[in-house]
Structure 1
């Protein structure tokens, strides 16, 4: 097993944090008893279906299958129960997997690079139904369902219109770091026990393990007495892995996904409004928004994030736009970068101009401004000083 160590000084802070706020269910439709002929719980069309991506060699599912490591678990009665549960409503399974389209190849690649079992790539199926915006009633958020305290300990920042829990790149790296660190710290590299701790917390798993050993039983996940949610966690994961490994056997038609990320990373070297970037480059605004769920106010600032994600086939046009010199303010004008706590009236007062003038000069229809937004300050305010 390959372990990453570059962030362990941060991850050590998280060793004792219980991730009890993680969502254990995929969706209400999958938790409930399936009804034949039921309408799928998710939209049947996604803008990813319309992307004219250049064909890439390889298939994401084949790559994932090559890395599956727990096939023998499929004979467990708990796994068989969930296989039957999922196969009874294959439309819901496919709809959830459709949400993974932009992320599946990249997540699989990260899991493979670390030498982790391929099943780990499917944890977001169990945690969030592959919805980066998913939030639980307990406060967990994102594809990997991080609680605020755990996210803080792992360095997933929440500030300035940015939530690292919703940032798929940052949250995936943090989740895999955390899983590896717990396995190394508590379980002699046992990833199954680490995943149980990911769901229930290390304290809960360690107590169950010690109790099992005291009874003379094995301390492996499948022999432990854990909360029901955690007892079902790995069976769900292994069940969906079994279906993906042989979809024809279970009557599931997996969507085709290329074995290459659907997005590219573009450096952020100046404040960027996603809506404006979409206008000047022709990139669909909904695609930019979907690829950057961590940018909660629709803007990126170099003080907050290093990159924005864009559809891979439009990387060059976006790079060209962001590499061009920033527009210069008219002679005599100045620029102001909106900070946390700013209001339009406060900025106007600071520069000795009226709110109406500031609003008109920047084409604002109301008084709403966002952190990281650049405002032009009219030259009159400079002369008045």
Structure 2
């Protein structure tokens, strides 16, 4: 429309100009450049692809059969499970001396091994650490020793307290399977981070982290070998400790080489912890109130000394996972409880007329073999009136 209007004005002007003298021509006005066409906007860059969301991997379900446990365990081994090492091979022969017995021992501790495997998976630690309680105690929660080490992991009292485990006369968390196992894996995780090698971490667990650190710093290029006792300077017991774990790893990964038939089809009853309400009771009364086997409950919970749950004792109780719901809104049953024992390390019984070692062991609910070991006695030892008998490691 604008261009048509300009042309009409010019035509009228030319008609009028014919009747008068034309003025001198003007210099032509410079052409006004027409605006350049707007450049097309650059096409927007395609949006960056949205990365796929990263989800935390769910923790695997507890193994319910031996095969699940063994397969997941061997998948976590940091080293090839069978090594050419004379010390390791010697321990392979010792453990596999009776293949049937070895398989039966493994089957008996499958629930506790499964619990330890779950901790190894949760802390992302090598599977070899799951075999440590076999070396230490064959997964016996109530295991003791003449040196004062107790439980699945054979913690001494100072180490246990340093890891946050209660060690008292009425309650010894070293014998609480889950609490002790969690503390052990936290400790092993620190050692593994410090040394970067599960075998050195194992040595630190056995001999102490400070001692192993000094030796590693002194011999930084030494290869870690149980048979060659490298790095040098540790106790023979420490090197054998590593060799035993390596031997067990080979037996678990390749049982057919030793004529062992692992219980792959054996069912595993998962374990769970429940929290008891405040108050005092006994394991026998709790088992009766929850309709559980009192012997099995006591076997899983030896941390409660003499089966007594004092008001000051820990509240964690280990039960089969299928029975955990029985403790929802659980009311702690009242029960007569004996006087509490003194702190662990001073517990003792003074021999009176008529006492026997067997009667003392039954009265305090300790194993006779442990009582003999703690006191350096034999089965034929004669008690003296006034003799002090230790009741704890």
Asked whether the two chains share a fold, i.e. TM above 0.5, the reply is: yes
Specify the alignment match of 2:273 in structure 1: 265
Q: Secondary structure at the match of 1:132?
A: coil
The one-character-per-residue Cα deviations of 1:203-226 (angstroms, maximum 9, x if unpaired) are: 43234334434xxx4253553223
Match of 1:218 among 214, 218, 222: 222
Matches of 2:101 and 2:65, distance apart in 1: 27
Specify the alignment match of 1:253 in structure 2: 261
Is 1:97–2:101 an aligned residue pair?
A: no
Q: Secondary structure at the match of 1:102?
A: helix
Match of 2:252 among 244, 250, 266: 244
Is 1:323–2:330 an aligned residue pair?
A: yes
The one-character-per-residue Cα deviations of 1:255-284 (angstroms, maximum 9, x if unpaired) are: 347686532222211334211122233311
Deviation for aligned residue 1:339: 7.3
Q: Secondary structure at the match of 2:319?
A: strand
- Under a length normalisation based on structure 2, what TM-score does the superposition of the two structures give? 0.62
Q: 1:204–1:230: structure 2 CA closer, same or farther, 3 Å change rule?
A: same
Deviation for aligned residue 1:80: 2.1
Contact 1:162–1:297 under 8 Å retained in 2: no
Matches of 1:62 and 1:163, distance apart in 2: 33
Specify the alignment match of 1:192 in structure 2: 199
Contact 1:300–1:308 under 8 Å retained in 2: no
Specify the alignment match of 2:70 in structure 1: 61
Q: Secondary structure at the match of 1:253?
A: coil
Specify the alignment match of 1:330 in structure 2: none
Q: Secondary structure at the match of 1:149?
A: helix
Q: 1:243–1:154: structure 2 CA closer, same or farther, 3 Å change rule?
A: same
Deviation for aligned residue 1:196: 0.5
Q: Secondary structure at the match of 2:306?
A: coil
More divergent stretch after superposition (176-185 vs 161-170):
176-185
Which has the higher Rg, Structure 1 or Structure 2? 2
Is 1:280–2:286 an aligned residue pair?
A: no
Alignment of 1:1-385 (within 5 A): 59-71=68-80, 74-159=83-168, 161-185=170-194, 187=195, 189-213=196-220, 217-218=221-222, 220-221=224-225, 223-225=230-232, 226-256=234-264, 262-270=270-278, 271-301=280-310, 303-316=312-325, 318-319=326-327, 323=330, 340=340
Q: Secondary structure at the match of 1:264?
A: strand
Unaligned runs of 5+ in 2: 1-62, 343-362, 365-393
- Under a length normalisation based on structure 1, what TM-score does the superposition of the two structures give? 0.64
Matches of 1:221 and 1:60, distance apart in 2: 28
Matches of 2:264 and 2:131, distance apart in 1: 16
Q: 1:314–1:95: structure 2 CA closer, same or farther, 3 Å change rule?
A: same
Contact 1:212–1:219 under 8 Å retained in 2: no
Q: Secondary structure at the match of 1:103?
A: helix
Q: 1:57–1:176: structure 2 CA closer, same or farther, 3 Å change rule?
A: closer
State the 4+ residue runs in structure 1 displaced beyond 4 angstroms: 54-58, 256-261, 324-327, 335-342
Specify the alignment match of 2:9 in structure 1: none
Q: Secondary structure at the match of 1:266?
A: strand
Q: 1:140–1:286: structure 2 CA closer, same or farther, 3 Å change rule?
A: same
Q: 1:82–1:338: structure 2 CA closer, same or farther, 3 Å change rule?
A: closer
Contact 2:301–2:318 under 8 Å retained in 1: yes
Matches of 2:127 and 2:205, distance apart in 1: 17
Matches of 2:202 and 2:341, distance apart in 1: 40
Aligned length: 278
Deviation for aligned residue 1:58: 6.5
The one-character-per-residue Cα deviations of 1:163-188 (angstroms, maximum 9, x if unpaired) are: 01111111111111111212334x2x
Contact 2:66–2:265 under 8 Å retained in 1: no
Matches of 2:341 and 2:170, distance apart in 1: 12
Unaligned runs of 5+ in 1: 1-53, 328-334, 343-367, 370-385
Q: 1:206–1:280: structure 2 CA closer, same or farther, 3 Å change rule?
A: closer
Contact 2:286–2:332 under 8 Å retained in 1: no
